Structure 1
Amino acid sequence: MNPYEKLLNRKRKWTPVQVTKGKVKEGAEETLKRVLAVRCLELPVGAFVTEALEKGVPDKARKLLISNVKDEENHDKALQYVVEAHGVDEKAEREALILRDAWLQHPDHTLIKSLTAERAIFFVLLPFLRFNGDVGMRTTAMDISRDEQVHVGTSSLVTTELSLTASPSLDKLRKATINWIMQPLGNHEDKYLNKKFWLDASDRLMYEGKAPELAQTKAARVPAFFETSNENLPQYA
């Protein structure tokens, strides 16, 4: 079994459901609206992968990459349910679209753009939702995170095979994106409300491929099924 087949076998099918609005951590409200605003990058990331499939990728990776594109549609739907429960910040929505357009127009290979967005942006935002969001946000982030682990593993393998690397200008766009999202935060004794904590995590994910400071995410914020409304739990195949 090759690495792509192993990644495909790790997937678990799930169906997003409408969530209810709960209480989020005080001090995170504005940033959470920005996190939700950049859901507009989910479908473009899928489009990046689709374009890469047309340009040429290793044959053994094609089935997994096609599956990953379908995941992005699922993620967009799940995040839209969260937005329907919590509402939007119209200014943040407009500014997020400007960032989206910058990602779309950037000249780097589409798979590198996909890898950079998922590894150094989404891998930061999903823990932010899990540490600072309500139950609906946490369960949604938990399920998207499982998919994103496979996506990043896939893109890492393919970009290595194709000898692709991110340009300095793409890294600059990555920094601009995460800085905009976390801008409402400042210095805070609660590290999960501390802007520098999240910016550093993005840097480490970009340059080292890991962020040990986010390791607690795996268990610390997973809501127990017995204490959670069924409306806030995804449906599994």
Structure 2
Amino acid sequence: MRETPYQKLYKRKRKWTPVQTAAGKLKEGSEETIRRVLAIRHMELPVGDFIQASLNEIPEHSRELLLSNIKDEENHDLALGYAVQALGEDREAEAEAKRLRDAWISHPSHTIAKALVVERGIFFTLLPFMRFNGDAGLRTISADISRDEQIHVATNSLLCTELNLDIPPSLDKLRKATIAWIYQPLGINTTDKYLDKKFWQDQSDNLMYNGRTNGLFETKRARMPAFFEHSNVNLPQYA
């Protein structure tokens, strides 16, 4: 029997276990935004809940993958929580992130559509931001979560097509508001594009409307610390 697209995606998955990271040096000028990025971890578990809420209407052949993706969100929340323990939290950012989380939960759009928008239009910018501006621990977390999120977005895109789901303007407006808050501490027309708020807002728009963005092509070859350059505490455990 020919494999379904969902089965092919499932085979691409790799298990990993988060570990407590040590605090390192963040790129100067990124610190406040990094803490807002980390505060958005409060949306990881709701994304899993969005998927869980739709299990009774999704195609049976996608169920195994969807259940695995829900487990991934728990893993991501744990990994990002470890990063917060290492780097410290911004209480105001944490409170605002929870208010944004509640706005996403209460939005009337289909839960699969909400999951797709959050992961493609928001998480897909936060992960490279961590990679270009974070310390060794954040760069490793970013790489591991990114592998999962590629599969999640592909899964949810397939489901939106199968279920004939659209992205309403109000949901896109919520995405824009969320992105605007996350990157608000950054400047405009900075010499370092990875510290430019408009750059990141544009990446979110491109990912949302086109499904890709040329502005982040560097992530394909962005330098990741070699294992021998890492403190052992920053290395996740792989299955």
Q: TM-score range by the shorter chain?
A: over 0.9
2:191 to 185, 189, 192: 189
d(CA) in 2 for partners of 1:26, 1:186:
12
1:34 to 27, 33, 36: 36
Instruction: Report the equivalent of 1:229.
Output: 231
The CA deviation at 1:222 is 1.5
1:217 to 195, 216, 219: 219
Aligned to 2:67, the other structure's residue is in SS state helix
Percentage of pairs with the same residue: 64
Q: Aligned pair 1:50/2:52, yes or no?
A: yes
- Give CA deviations for 1:64-121 in whole Å, capped at 9, x if unaligned: 0000000000000000000000010000111111100000000000000000000000
d(CA) in 1 for partners of 2:179, 2:54:
25
The CA deviation at 1:228 is 1.0
1:20 to 13, 19, 22: 22
d(CA) in 2 for partners of 1:62, 1:212:
32
Q: How does 1:49-198 map to 2 (within 5 A)?
A: 49-54=51-56, 56-187=57-188, 188-198=190-200
TM score, norm. by length of structure 1: 0.98
Give the number of equivalent residue pairs.
236
The CA deviation at 1:27 is 0.2
Does the 8 A contact of 1:204 with 1:211 survive in 2?
A: yes
Q: Aligned pair 1:208/2:192, yes or no?
A: no
The CA deviation at 1:144 is 0.3
Does the 8 A contact of 1:124 with 1:202 survive in 2?
A: yes
d(CA) in 2 for partners of 1:30, 1:202:
19
TM score, norm. by length of structure 2: 0.98
Instruction: Report the equivalent of 1:199.
Output: 201
d(CA) in 1 for partners of 2:46, 2:164:
22
The CA deviation at 1:37 is 0.5
The CA deviation at 1:215 is 1.6
Moved more, 216-225 or 196-205: 216-225
**Cα RMSD for the two superposed structures:** 0.6
The CA deviation at 1:225 is 1.1
d(CA) in 1 for partners of 2:37, 2:105:
18
d(CA) in 1 for partners of 2:163, 2:13:
24
d(CA) in 1 for partners of 2:117, 2:43:
12
